[in-house]
A and B are shown apart, each in its own frame.
Chain A
């Protein structure tokens, strides 16, 4: 299930791309499978279809999808790329904010660390199974 928050400061297309990426990483879709059409997903989420199209384009640029006119978005076989010098930086910045929010809300560092490891392991297990 894909879930977005229209009240969030994160742009909607980015939330959609993030949600779909999580599904793709965890192997919810096999290579060759089709994602819902732009229009279907836009209707289900109650957003403009251009917003979903933007999210699909972003995932296509990352190599997750192939966008074919009249055929929708098809999931591609994607090898894990080499992490570049700015990859970690792009990852750490939002993570810092998220951890700060968790700590501010009373979660312990130990609990946060355990949760993060579990999520990563779960995603990796699903992807390889």
Chain B
């Protein structure tokens, strides 16, 4: 066994730090990446964003964003000094909470300029639902890989000369069970999300070039979820199998998270929310409405501008108003099922420790 001088905790910390920097860049550019008639999650007339008032609000938002992110960074460093490198996992949470403050303040400044969005709704009666690249055959790949990995363990036995930290110490069967269960939960929620992207997303446009752009955006998001599924499976297999070969390989896949997040951000930013930044021949726009279209959800159902709660809307996924991708409609029970599954993966690990199914750290 080759002893690796690199500590996995440092690798995780550096990766989380890199992702944090990318997150800061996203928050910086986000107001310009949403649909043009939505500004800080408020429906506004299309020219407002590029007008003097809109630009002034954006300037103030960015100044406040820098201040809160610096404060968040200080808190982050203090947290690591106080609680250890494990605190780096809290980085995305701290960053999002910090960025919410300037977002909310900018939203309050935009609200007096809000206008009523169109109440016209459209539906394509012969919908084309080729949303997942490679279809369900590609989507079943991660499960096949995971089954193959389990079969390999069954045939060759458990690795006994290494642990998930890349250090010697064994990988007991209970750890493997917990690890596979939480990986299964992550895969489950990702597959459910993929299904939802095909069947539960409400399109904003039912025809015209905007519809084509929207479909491209949805396919891109599906490809990202699919890519994340493959990544989770490969990493799960790698972490358990790598100690057999070389400890360095155990951490080899982790920095890929940074690359993956970078690619995701670039891909989605180029398209804009719902494909709204893709070039369109304005002569051929499908809508003739003079009212802003936005995302065809009424403003009043967006709590704090980020949580959508509309009992009269059957859609489980709607476009995020301040972000790239989709948000849940919290009035639908399916949304709570998805949320529960998201929380299930960390919950399995916490429960395993609390019930002493797994030994506590340092025990």
Q: Which residues of the partner chain A approach B121 to less than 8 Å between Cβ atoms?
A: 3-6, 44-47
Interface-centre pick from A7, A23, A49 (highest chain B CB count, 10 A): A7
A5 contact from B120, B127, B313, Cβ within 8 A:
B120
Q: Is the CB of A35 within 8 A of B314?
A: no
Q: Is the CB of A44 within 8 A of B203?
A: yes
A49 to B127, CA, bound (A): 18
Q: Is the CB of A1 within 8 A of B119?
A: no
A36 to B314, CA, bound (A): 14
A2 to B315, CA, bound (A): 17
Q: Check if A78 is an interface residue, CB within 8 A of chain B.
A: no
A69 to B123, CA, bound (A): 23
A68 to B206, CA, bound (A): 26
Q: Is the CB of A43 within 8 A of B311?
A: no
A127 to B313, CA, bound (A): 33
B313 contact from A20, A28, A36, A46, Cβ within 8 A:
A46
Q: Is the CB of A5 within 8 A of B119?
A: yes
Q: Is the CB of A44 within 8 A of B123?
A: yes
Given contacts A43-B202, A44-B203, A46-B297, contact A1 B314 (CB under 8 A): no
Q: Is the CB of A2 within 8 A of B311?
A: no
Contact with B along A30-51 (1 / 0, CB 8 A): 0000011001111111111100
Contact with A along B311-337 (1 / 0, CB 8 A): 111111000000000000000000000
Q: Is the CB of B120 within 8 A of A4?
A: yes
Q: Check if B201 is an interface residue, CB within 8 A of chain A.
A: yes
A27 to B313, CA, bound (A): 29
Q: Which residues of the partner chain A approach B206 to less than 8 Å between Cβ atoms?
A: 1-3, 44
Q: Check if B296 is an interface residue, CB within 8 A of chain A.
A: yes
B312 contact from A1, A3, A48, Cβ within 8 A:
A48
Contact with A along B91-129 (1 / 0, CB 8 A): 000000000000000000000000000011111110100
Given contacts A1-B206, A1-B207, A40-B127, contact A47 B314 (CB under 8 A): yes
**Residues B199-256 near A (CB distance < 8 A):** 199-203, 206-207
Chain A interface size, as a band, is: 20 to 34
- Number of B residues, CB within 8 Å of A: 24
Instruction: Tell me the minimal C-beta distance from B164 to chain A in angstroms.
Output: 41
A23 to B123, CA, bound (A): 13
B201 contact from A1, A20, A43, A49, Cβ within 8 A:
A43
CB-nearest residue of chain B to A39: B314
Q: Which residues of the partner chain B approach A6 to less than 8 Å between Cβ atoms?
A: 119-121
Q: Which residues of the partner chain B approach A5 to less than 8 Å between Cβ atoms?
A: 119-121
Given contacts A1-B206, A39-B314, A49-B314, contact A44 B120 (CB under 8 A): no
A43 contact from B119, B200, B297, Cβ within 8 A:
B200
**Residues A104-121 near B (CB distance < 8 A):** none
Contact with A along B293-311 (1 / 0, CB 8 A): 0001100000000000011
Q: Is the CB of A48 within 8 A of B202?
A: no
Q: Which residues of the partner chain B approach A28 to less than 8 Å between Cβ atoms?
A: 125
A43 to B296, CA, bound (A): 12
Interface-centre pick from B127, B311, B314, B316 (highest chain A CB count, 10 A): B314
A27 to B124, CA, bound (A): 16
A23 to B122, CA, bound (A): 14
Instruction: Tell me the minimal C-beta distance from B255 to chain A in angstroms.
Output: 39
**Residues B180-214 near A (CB distance < 8 A):** 199-203, 206-207
Q: Which residues of the partner chain A approach B127 to less than 8 Å between Cβ atoms?
A: 36, 40, 44
Q: Is the CB of A1 within 8 A of B124?
A: yes
Instruction: Tell me the minimal C-beta distance from B314 to chain A in angstroms.
Output: 4
A28 to B126, CA, bound (A): 10
CB-nearest residue of chain A to B208: A1
Q: Is the CB of B296 within 8 A of A46?
A: yes
Knowing that A46-B202, A48-B311 are A-B contacts, what are 16 other residue pairs whose CB atoms are under 8 Å apart, sorted by A's residue number? A1-B125, A1-B207, A3-B121, A3-B206, A7-B119, A43-B201, A43-B202, A43-B314, A43-B315, A44-B121, A44-B124, A45-B123, A46-B297, A46-B310, A46-B314, A46-B315
Measured CB to CB, the residues of A under 8 A from B are 1-7, 20, 23, 28-29, 35-36, 39-49
A-B contact pairs, 26 of them (CB 8 A): A2-B122, A3-B206, A4-B120, A4-B121, A5-B119, A5-B120, A5-B121, A6-B119, A7-B119, A28-B125, A36-B123, A36-B125, A39-B314, A40-B127, A40-B199, A41-B123, A42-B314, A43-B200, A43-B315, A44-B121, A44-B203, A45-B123, A46-B297, A47-B121, A47-B314, A48-B312
